[in-house]
Amino acid sequence: MIGSWDKNESNRSRATDLGCSCSETMERQRAVRFVLCLLTSGALVPVVVWAADNPCAAGPPVDTNPAECCPTPMLVDGTIMMDCYQKYGEQTKKQLKMDGIPRGCCIAECAMNATAMYADGMLRREDLSKMFMDAVRDKPEWMALVRDATNACFELAEHRMEEIEAGAKLEPSFEGEQICHPISGTILRCMGMMLFAQCPASVFTVNDNCNKLREYGSICPMI
């Protein structure tokens, strides 16, 4: 389970929250839904992937820091994320190259534990949404996108609940591997991918490397 979620919540948003026109709001929502469609229809790495067919196995096609292309907002405290990356970064890199049922991202679970947003396979959806929105309270260009992406990513998690639960039951496949529940990684990776893919034009740096990285980021997680 991922906690309570009102499927009508996204419909309650108002364009006037950000002073944008109805057409701009509809355009943004269509874009978010398009990315969500890609995530749920198989453009993202499939439920079961053979390593040879895994488009994410080799990592990003260019040696460019995503933040140089689009400085997406830090939705979780940076110190927490760095601490969790130091603990589980190498394990996560190995897991991204593995075939079979996707494994839970321990970096994400570590972060959700540190912020008290996760317990026993569940995320505190309302509190997590508030934390995300608080992270962009001074970034109006991101507020509506973060709100819509949060709803879309929880919808994705509902769509993939069978896969998520299967991932939580996996056994370690290499020495020292820790098995984490996939729900935290599902939400955080989805948020990161959607925000990068829909980076506002006023923020995104247009060049060959960044365009290639955005294409990669539309189907592969950055963590």
When the pLDDT of each residue in the chain is averaged and rounded to a whole number, the result is 80
Average pLDDT over residues 69-91: 94
14, pLDDT greater than 50: no
Average pLDDT over residues 201-209: 94
Class of the domain covering 74-199: mainly alpha
Angle, CA of 15, 16 and 22, to the nearest 5°: 35
101, pLDDT greater than 70: yes
- Cα separation, 43 vs 77, in Å, equals 30
- Model pLDDT, residue 222: 63
Buried b (16+ CB within 10 A) or exposed e, 163-183: bbeebbebeeeeeebebbbbb
53, pLDDT greater than 80: no
27, pLDDT greater than 80: no
6, pLDDT greater than 70: no
**Domain positions in the chain:** 74-199
57, pLDDT greater than 90: no
54, pLDDT greater than 60: yes
- Model pLDDT, residue 59: 80
26, pLDDT greater than 90: no
pTM of the model: 0.74
* Band (151; pLDDT cuts 50, 70, 90): very high
- Model pLDDT, residue 223: 55
